[in-house]
Homo-oligomer: A and B are copies of this chain.
């Protein structure tokens, strides 16, 4: 059964973590708002017959089921397509990593919107500059340290975040590295030499045939200043 992904058209955002999993799985899916417009998203988001409306996109429709929250969607998709380990302990650890990616995503967004999404970036630029210093100098290294550490400690080796096979957490870490490189090229160039395992994993994911084909296709929205990872040179190091 074809999946229907509902997410804002025109940006990668949180939807991108779901797209990467569906693409790597080779799953049939429709990116509904990109194909049919944002109205189609609005109708499905909170229609009167929907018992489980999501607070925000992305959400995934699969048959009668509608599942929201990025990490929750990946929990569902990961189990169905071999992108999560089978053992309960490893499955929860994979999810824990994804939830930590979600924390990083919030902070990466809040760099350019420290006063919240109700003000334009232009109306919170001085505040964004202050928060960006903390993000680049304290938070980015802290998150990258953690990813590097858990790769180094993986008993099956540093090729994957969990066990010896690809999981959705690996795909998500690829996206984080790509996003940080786009948004903070100067800061990332300074940091990357310390995070060899993280960079190697990014490169290995990018080279996977399905991911590579996806990234080269027009299904991949480019990074831009509507998404989570935004390149404002004044916020970079």
Contact = CB atoms under 8 A, between A and B. Distances in A.
Interface of A: 46, 50-55, 65, 67-69, 71-72, 75-76, 89, 92-93, 95-96, 99-100, 103, 106-107, 110, 114-116, 118-119, 127, 130-131, 134-135, 138-139, 143, 146, 149-150, 153-155
29 contacts: A46-B149, A51-B153, A51-B155, A52-B96, A52-B153, A53-B146, A53-B150, A53-B153, A65-B89, A67-B92, A67-B96, A68-B100, A69-B96, A72-B92, A72-B96, A75-B92, A75-B95, A76-B92, A106-B106, A110-B110, A110-B116, A114-B114, A114-B131, A116-B135, A116-B139, A118-B134, A118-B138, A119-B134, A127-B127
A116 B115 CA distance: 11
A65 B93 CA distance: 10
Nearest to A138: B118
Contacts of A92: 67, 72, 75-76
Nearest to A146: B55
Nearest to A106: B106
Contacts of A119: 130, 134
